[in-house]
Amino acid sequence: MGSISIRKRKNGSSSYLARVRVMREGTSYHETKTFDRRPAATAWIRKREKELAKPGALEESNVCDPPLSKAIERYTEETVKDIGRTKAQVLRTIATYPIADLPCSTIKAKDIIEFLQSLPGQPQTVGN
């Protein structure tokens, strides 16, 4: 079922956050999108709910959940000049740790904290 919530922007104008949530056979799926006009948000909710009602639609939508290592690899390949050599090297190093084998959607704050605490070195180095 979809819902719309109004959000105020910094400049005072309003935006409409459309949210679609579907739970089927214990699997939960949610998607959000922001619109400038409420009718556009309503139309998007109707369209997405109709698409997700089709058999197998939830399985197709959850297919693209790469492990963290693949996401890091793609990020560094696409933006290596923008991020700099040091950050690129730090990301490549993170890809060698066990956390990089986890699917991106399953990584929680708890996992990140445990990973950071397991790293050797000073806090400023770990901050990288």
Task: Give SS3 for 28.
Answer: strand
Query: Could you read off the pLDDT of 13-53 as tens digits, one per residue?
Result: 999 999 998 887 777 788 899 999 999 999 999 998 888 88
Domain identity same for 42 and 81: no
Tell me which residue has tokens 């949210």.
Answer: 19
What is the tally of structural domains in the chain? Answer: 2
Of 121, 116, 67, nearest to 95 (Cα)? Answer: 67
Report field, pTM of the whole predicted structure over 0.85: no
What would the two tokens of residue 32 be? 């959000």
For residues 14 and 35, the answer to whether their CB atoms sit within 8 Å is no
What would the two tokens of residue 38 be? 């409420």
From CA 19, how far away is CA 27, in angstroms rounded? 17
Domain identity same for 8 and 47: yes
Domain range enclosing 52? 2-61
Domain identity same for 98 and 55: no
Domain identity same for 75 and 102: yes
* CA distance to 30, 37, 49, 124, per residue, from 55 (Å): 17, 30, 12, 50
Query: Could you read off the pLDDT of 64-99 as tens digits, one per residue?
Result: 678 888 888 888 888 756 787 888 888 888 889 999
